[in-house]
Amino acid sequence: MIEVHELAKRYGTAVAVDGLSFTVRPGRVTGFLGPNGAGKSTTMRVILGLDAPTAGRATIGGQPYARLSRPLHQVGALLDAGAVHGGRTARNHLLAIAVSNGISARRVDEVLGLVGLDSATARRRVRGFSLGMKQRLGIAAALLGDPGVLLFDEPVNGLDPEGVHWVRGLFKQLAGEGRTVFVSSHLMSEMAVTAEHLVVIGRGRLVADTPIAQFVQQGSSGDVLVRSPAAPALAVLLHRRGATVTTDTGGALAVTGLDAEAIGDLAAAHHLPVHELTPRRASLEEAFLELTRDSVDYHAGAPADTGKAA
């Protein structure tokens, strides 16, 4: 497990992480979310021993990273896909890491194949790689020691749709093998279909540590979309029952305060036809924006009306 306990990190007077505590457990993909500047990258750097905490601790398997006897065999990480010597070939980059950790050249070729970098590509110098190719190389480096704990910071940046689909399946496979998989990302659509659990922070503090379904529910209770040729009459009845009713697209009703079953029963009791009755839940993005609203440093305004298009 990755365990973070009362972690604090300050840079002068700036507080990056403030009393943060959470646990990342094996066997599932845990998403790490937060607005820009929330402290995600700093937290990952402290976990990996790249920054020293001001207070508190971060451990992997009960030990600080610096005390791990065979770190690459225990922990794999990708924090910055661009942090590679551009003059080396992809294979030589991995070979240098492998030699320093007692890993065979055969394993280098295995992970290159796993991430989709063929032998011709592996002989190319990294400076000519696209961001997506560097991401694949970084993932290969993280997998090199076959570790039980994996950390990835924005791993799908620069990947094409096939690459994103592949990474999604890879993370689920690694978690299914009992590994601890911790993934930071700004892409809510990816987290919604990849992560099972979420750790959400804002301004360096914990906002949520919960299964993804529960996070979405606590962010918003959702509503029920109702379409009826007798919408005005039904709206009056719903108001009388204490529901909140607003008009949605196409004259439909968006109802909160009553579930779909109660709305259907009410319409049937008054012989009002209903053509659609659809419960709607907030998306992960909507729940995230709602729960982290007070943790965002910069709020953009609505686009100004600039008149007619040129």
What are 285's two structure tokens? 């993005």
The domain spans of the chain are 2-210, 223-280
Digit-coded pLDDT (tens) for 131-154 = 999 999 999 999 999 999 999 999
Beta-carbon count within 10 A of 2 CB:
22
Per-residue burial over 157-175, b if 16 or more Cβ lie within 10 Å, else e, is: ebbeeebbebbeebbbebb
Q: Which of 272, 184, 191 is nearest to 228 (CA)?
A: 272
Q: Are 239 and 245 in contact (CB under 8 A)?
A: yes
SS3 152: strand
pLDDT of residue 307: 52
- 310 pLDDT tier (thresholds 50, 70, 90): very low
Digit-coded pLDDT (tens) for 182-232 = 999 888 888 888 999 999 999 899 999 999 888 877 655 678 999 999 999
Q: Are 182 and 254 in contact (CB under 8 A)?
A: no
Q: Check for a shared fold between 2-210 and 223-280.
A: no
Q: Which residues face 157 on adjacent strands?
A: none
Q: Which CATH class is domain 2-210?
A: alpha beta
- 284 pLDDT tier (thresholds 50, 70, 90): confident
**How many whole angstroms separate alpha carbon 32 and alpha carbon 199?**
5
Digit-coded pLDDT (tens) for 16-66 = 999 999 999 999 999 999 888 889 999 999 999 999 999 999 999 999 999
pLDDT of residue 111: 96
Q: Please tell me the number of Cα atoms within 13 Å of 221 on its side-chain side.
A: 10
Report whether pLDDT(289) > 90: no
| Averaged pLDDT of the chain | 90
Assigned CATH for 223-280: 3.30.70.100
Q: Are 47 and 151 in contact (CB under 8 A)?
A: yes
Extended beta strands in 186-259, E state: 197-202, 205-211, 223-227, 244-247, 253-256
SS3 103: coil
